[in-house]
Amino acid sequence: MLKQGVVKWASALAVTASVLGGQVQAADAICYNCPPQWADWGTQLKVIKEELGYRIPFDNKNSGQALSQLLAEQNNPVADVAYYGVSFGIAAAGKGVTEAYQPANWEQIPDGLKDPDGNWFTIHSGTLGLFVNVDALEGKPVPQSWQDLLDPAYRGMIGYLDPSSAFVGYAGAVAINGALGGDLDNFEPGLEFLAKLQDNDPIVPKQTAYARVLSGEIPIMLDYDFNAYRAKYKDGANVQFVIPEEGSVVVPYVMSLVKNAPNPEKGRKILDFVLSDKGQAVWANAFLRPVRPDAMPDEVKARFLPESDYARAVAVDYGKMAEVQTRFQQQYLNRMQ
């Protein structure tokens, strides 16, 4: 009984307190993998507080860490909802840590971008490419292709998130692999490229590195279009976004209701909200492509690269992408040792 009480006390403490701006505030609900510097979760959580009255703390996990935490807490869930790259969302459903829920505007989510029962569903997507701080290149040309990154001129200037943990890192590997002739059954072209890239001393963080690109610490980051556009149009940085000449991928990000969540009704209302007009507008104004096709204002879309550039970015079989992720991660770790 004592042990059970300690577990419940610890879980309650995790749920009801978070550090925001140096102050401890009570939390009304918990969202795993909702960091303020990624996908403008900072604004989204602020709007949720204004509209629903829920105080939700920032959470700086990546997709893999969020899933690991959900599995560790399966018998005593702490989170109410979770956000992750599509392959981790599919994996979470497969491991039984999600609960089926079809939120408001469900019918507007295209087939293929949602689990038929609602165990996961897309809220927005991004296109993977090169997020480049032009000033930090110190006069070097902006790379235009994956192969350009192997040029010794860029030694120490390239970053990508760890593909063995962070979803965007895995998405980058999928993009490179497909662009260089591989597929989801054969990662050899991508693994060979990443092995060669080690000669250029890449920086490989596990967490979002937006601020490190803006500061110039990482001049070239394998990242999404929405982060580059945010840096350019909201933070006023001299950056460019490049969809490499060889090609890239379009990647959905998804959310789930956590199975046996402490606050399931609040979780459902949060999921309803992120697919509402106001919720989708937050994503659009942060340069993410909202899953509801009518939610992207023309003035925002006009700031994106031309459609001819986006034609180089393709969708993949996201179910297959999830299925082979663990195998790729092991191959990656073996190759990089």
pLDDT digits (tens, 9 = 90+) for 61-74: 999 999 999 999 99
More confident site: 10 or 59: 59
Please check whether residues 140 and 277 belong to one and the same domain: no
Rg (CA), the chain: 20
| 13 located within any domain | no
Q: Is the pLDDT of residue 24 over 70?
A: no
Which CATH number do you get for residue 214?
3.40.190.10
pLDDT interval class at 294 (50, 70, 90) = confident
Q: Is the pLDDT of residue 100 over 80?
A: yes
Q: Is the pLDDT of residue 203 over 70?
A: yes
Nearest to 147 by CA among 185, 204, 200, 214: 200
What pLDDT sits at residue 56? 98
What pLDDT sits at residue 50? 98
Please check whether residues 222 and 326 belong to one and the same domain: yes
Question: CB–CB of 335/194 below 8 Å?
Answer: yes
Please check whether residues 182 and 331 belong to one and the same domain: yes
What is the Cα–Cα distance from 287 to 290, expressed in whole angstroms?
9
Question: CB–CB of 214/37 below 8 Å?
Answer: no
pLDDT interval class at 144 (50, 70, 90) = very high
119: phi then psi, degrees, rounded to nearest 5? -70, -20
Report the relative pairing of strands 313-314 and 248-258 from DSSP bridges: parallel
Across the chain, mean pLDDT equals 91
pLDDT interval class at 208 (50, 70, 90) = confident
Mean pLDDT confidence for 35-62:
94
| 44 located within any domain | yes
What is the Cα–Cα distance from 272 to 179, expressed in whole angstroms?
36
Please check whether residues 257 and 112 belong to one and the same domain: yes
| 95 located within any domain | yes
What is the Cα–Cα distance from 241 to 213, expressed in whole angstroms?
12
C-alpha distances in angstroms, 43 versus 17, 40, 102, 290?
20, 6, 24, 15
Please check whether residues 184 and 208 belong to one and the same domain: yes
What is the Cα–Cα distance from 260 to 162, expressed in whole angstroms?
30
Please check whether residues 104 and 190 belong to one and the same domain: no
Q: How is residue 48 written in tokens?
A: 């949720």
Please check whether residues 43 and 85 belong to one and the same domain: yes
| 208 located within any domain | yes
Question: CB–CB of 98/119 below 8 Å?
Answer: yes
- Cβ atoms < 10 Å from Cβ of 138: 9
Mean pLDDT confidence for 111-124:
96
pLDDT digits (tens, 9 = 90+) for 150-194: 999 999 999 999 999 888 999 999 999 999 999 999 999 999 999
Please check whether residues 327 and 295 belong to one and the same domain: no
| 1 located within any domain | no
Q: Is the pLDDT of residue 5 over 70?
A: no
Please check whether residues 88 and 233 belong to one and the same domain: no
Mean pLDDT confidence for 114-134:
97
Please check whether residues 46 and 111 belong to one and the same domain: yes
What pLDDT sits at residue 337? 74
Mean pLDDT confidence for 292-309:
91
C-alpha distances in angstroms, 135 versus 55, 215, 239, 289, 319?
38, 10, 8, 27, 39
What pLDDT sits at residue 18? 40
Mean pLDDT confidence for 241-262:
97
Mean pLDDT confidence for 214-232:
96
Nearest to 146 by CA among 162, 128, 164: 128
Structural domain that includes position 110: 25-125+251-301
| 55 located within any domain | yes
| 16 located within any domain | no
What pLDDT sits at residue 159? 98
What pLDDT sits at residue 37? 83
Q: Is the pLDDT of residue 23 over 80?
A: no
Please check whether residues 166 and 271 belong to one and the same domain: no
Mean pLDDT confidence for 293-305:
90
Residue showing tokens 């937006």:
210
226: phi then psi, degrees, rounded to nearest 5? -65, -30
| 145 located within any domain | yes
Question: CB–CB of 124/141 below 8 Å?
Answer: no
Structural domain count, the chain: 2
Please check whether residues 322 and 192 belong to one and the same domain: yes
What pTM was estimated for this model as a whole?
0.80
